[in-house]
Structure 1
Amino acid sequence: MIGCWTQILRRLPPSMVPRLVSGVIWSRRTSIKAPLSLMRPGILVGNSFFWLLDDHENGGILEFSLNLQSLATIKYPAAARVAKRSVFQILRMEDGGLGLAIPSDGSIQLWERKTSSVGIAAWRLQKTIELDKLLLLKTPMDSSFSVILGYDEDGHVMFIMTDDGIFMVHLNSMKFRKISNRSNFMIVTAYHPYRSFYTIESLTL
């Protein structure tokens, strides 16, 4: 769990780190045998961290609850149409819930995990993105491919590679921008988005 803890401390708000490090988080050991996907960093959703398990057929999502100090696994949506060699992506949905993006033969399915009034959690299909129609691709998606390269949970932005290039897609507005051409494909395996901020100071002339 050392790698998982490193991701947790790096991605938590600074105000939470001292309390977690000095509190009950180290009081007992929690472990589970699961192959994590190293290409997809963990994502904080609510009070839990989530990682993809590197096994589409028998795997799912690993959850670590910061409140309960416990581990659990969540199965992928049983009704999802999964393309061969597809790479899933955990999402933080607009309402703050857990989501999952699944490439599916020219489209990407966006699933969200909802809890019923009796406390039963289940996956619900929220949207299907037809990539050739959205991105105005030159190559038909039935003879093309798509790969999710990365995701920014704060901006709800996904980076998608197709035969026509690499695109940045805002999942809320469905606006997109092409950020790279096909010639760069061989050197791109994953995108790790980051943001930087600065303060504009007043200048005295």
Structure 2
Amino acid sequence: MAPPPRRRDSPQELPDELIVEIFLRFPLDEPSCLLRASLVSRRLYRAVSDPFFRQRLHELHRTPPALGFLHNRDDEDIPRFVHSTASAFPLAAPDDHPSWEVVVDCRHGRALFLIHYQVARELLIWEPITGAQHRVPVPAAFENLCPTAAVFCPVEGCSHYNCIGGPFRVVFVFAVDDNDEAKFFTSASVYSSETGTWGEVTRILNRAVCFSSPYRSSVLVWRSLFYFMADGSDILEYDLDSHALARLESPDPYTDTFSLMVAEDGGLGVCKVSDPQQLKLWSWQESDDDDTDGQWVLSRVIYLGNLLPNGALPLSSLSKRVLFFAEVANVIFVTTDDGVFTIELQSERAKKVCDHHFWCLVPVVSFYTPLRLLNLSEEAGGEEGGVKEEKTVERAHQLFGKGTNAVKEGDFDHSFINHDLKTRFDVFGGKHDFVM
């Protein structure tokens, strides 16, 4: 008589801190990895949705990825958010986001929409990762000339890895037509979520700086200077410290196809497709002489013919333009005859994002982690912290090394979670065929 089958011992459970170290090394271009891991068990869900996990992501990777972009194209067949990562993932959409809400900015974990763009009376601030939203009335001084706006985190020294849910501010820029004196004023005001009020309106007297379309970009430089691309060749500067407004011209005063960006030195830059084969980048150089204005310097030329596939480049640059620069991620979005491409400025790698064509898009730059919806209780006897201990990191590297081939094959999340679930089913019984 055959002996009874020997009972197999349960596999040793990995400590939480080791699981965290493994998850931290999932490819940033595969947000669905963390999402799928969070669905395996309550324990894994808690590990990847904890705010501390976002902090560790920032400490390890430093630079968040460009997850995709929001756009203003009125097409029900195209999702409002288009992912630029290798795998798709869900975002917590606003409860109500009709097509007449125009997205104009996204920064520090928040997207900003103008409601009824031409005659905006309300702003919508939306956190793509958490789904939280706030509605803010426009300043009382605003009438009906086309505005623009930008959102940012005001916390001094914040690294912005986890400032979602915290305080925010909005810079609202608009033109005022003084009919009594036949003068135009360009005005700006800052809203604080902490006080729930708009600050004093700053204005400069000049020909009105207008934003007649939502195709214009903005950029934050040195944490204190906002720049807005206006109609024509105008660039508007707003100083967050002094609340002063100033105006400067783009490198070519006869074209309006520039997009703002952060230059390699951290200062103001612009970029433009000036030739079917060339993407040109300029940087603004301040003058040492107080009596002399600064100047634009051509700092770099990227030959798109070496990066984009055949057929993507049109016969003229009119159908190809820079749509937006993704701050922090240092990525430029370019539209071509073949669709939208991203260009990483550091590596000059190009990647096709989608087949559709857009005239306006706003990048979403953030670390993606599943939203923590539940107040999960802590496990009894669990130790707090400890993820930085040397032995834990060393063991994590050893285990992570075993998955290198799976990463190269683009199948790490499936291999890891499939192995985990297979082990569980082998021990406790059942089938482990599932689709991910």
- TM-score normalised according to structure 2 size: 0.38
Q: Which residue of 2 aligns with 1:152?
A: 326
- Paired with 1:97 and 1:165, the residues of 2 have a C-alpha distance of 30
1:43 aligns with 2:219: yes
Q: Which residue of 2 aligns with 1:128?
A: 301
The correspondence of residues 138-149 of structure 1 with structure 2, limited to 5 A, is 138=311, 141-142=314-315, 145-149=319-323
Structure 1 residue corresponding to 2:231, chosen from 48, 54, 57: 54
Q: After superposition, give the CA deviation of every residue in 1:31-53 in whole Å (9 maximum; x if it has no partner).
A: 45211252224211121111111
User: 1:17: Cα distance to partner?
Assistant: 4.5
Which residue type is aligned with residue 350 of structure 2?
Answer: F
Q: Is the 8 A contact 1:60 1:75 kept in 2?
A: yes
Which residue type is aligned with residue 150 of structure 1?
Answer: F
Structure 2 residue corresponding to 1:115, chosen from 277, 286, 303: 286
User: 1:30: Cα distance to partner?
Assistant: 2.4
Q: After superposition, give the CA deviation of every residue in 1:95-138 in whole Å (9 maximum; x if it has no partner).
A: 21000012212122100001233354110001122212222433
User: 1:180: Cα distance to partner?
Assistant: 1.6
Q: Is the 8 A contact 2:271 2:282 kept in 1?
A: yes
Unaligned stretches of 5+ in structure 2? 1-137, 140-146, 157-166, 170-189, 373-377, 383-423, 425-436
Distance 1:199 1:139, change over 3 A: closer
Which residue type is aligned with residue 49 of structure 1?
Answer: F
Partner-residue secondary structure (3-state), 2:363? coil
User: 1:71: Cα distance to partner?
Assistant: 0.8
Partner-residue secondary structure (3-state), 1:104? strand
Rg comparison, structure with higher value: 2
Q: Is the 8 A contact 2:321 2:335 kept in 1?
A: yes
Identity level (%)? 26
Distance 1:143 1:94, change over 3 A: closer
- Paired with 2:334 and 2:323, the residues of 1 have a C-alpha distance of 6
Partner-residue secondary structure (3-state), 2:343? strand
Does 1 or 2 have the higher relative contact order (CA < 8 Å, sep 6+)? 2
Unaligned stretches of 5+ in structure 1? none
- Paired with 1:29 and 1:50, the residues of 2 have a C-alpha distance of 15
User: 1:149: Cα distance to partner?
Assistant: 2.1
Structure 2 residue corresponding to 1:92, chosen from 257, 262, 265: 262
Q: Which residue of 2 aligns with 1:194?
A: 364
Q: Which residue of 2 aligns with 1:102?
A: 272
Partner-residue secondary structure (3-state), 2:210? coil
Structure 2 residue corresponding to 1:163, chosen from 323, 331, 337: 337
Cα RMSD, aligned residues only: 3.4
Q: Which residue of 1 aligns with 2:348?
A: 174
Q: After superposition, give the CA deviation of every residue in 1:132-172 in whole Å (9 maximum; x if it has no partner).
A: 22224335554564122222111111111112332110112
Q: Is the 8 A contact 2:326 2:365 kept in 1?
A: no
Q: Is the 8 A contact 1:110 1:127 kept in 2?
A: yes
Which residue type is aligned with residue 230 of structure 2?
Answer: L
1:34 aligns with 2:175: no
Q: Is the 8 A contact 2:239 2:245 kept in 1?
A: yes
Distance 1:139 1:160, change over 3 A: closer
Partner-residue secondary structure (3-state), 1:95? coil
- TM-score normalised according to structure 1 size: 0.75
User: 1:94: Cα distance to partner?
Assistant: 2.6
Q: Is the 8 A contact 1:147 1:161 kept in 2?
A: yes
Q: Is the 8 A contact 2:329 2:365 kept in 1?
A: no
Q: Which residue of 2 aligns with 1:12?
A: 153
Which residue type is aligned with residue 38 of structure 1?
Answer: P
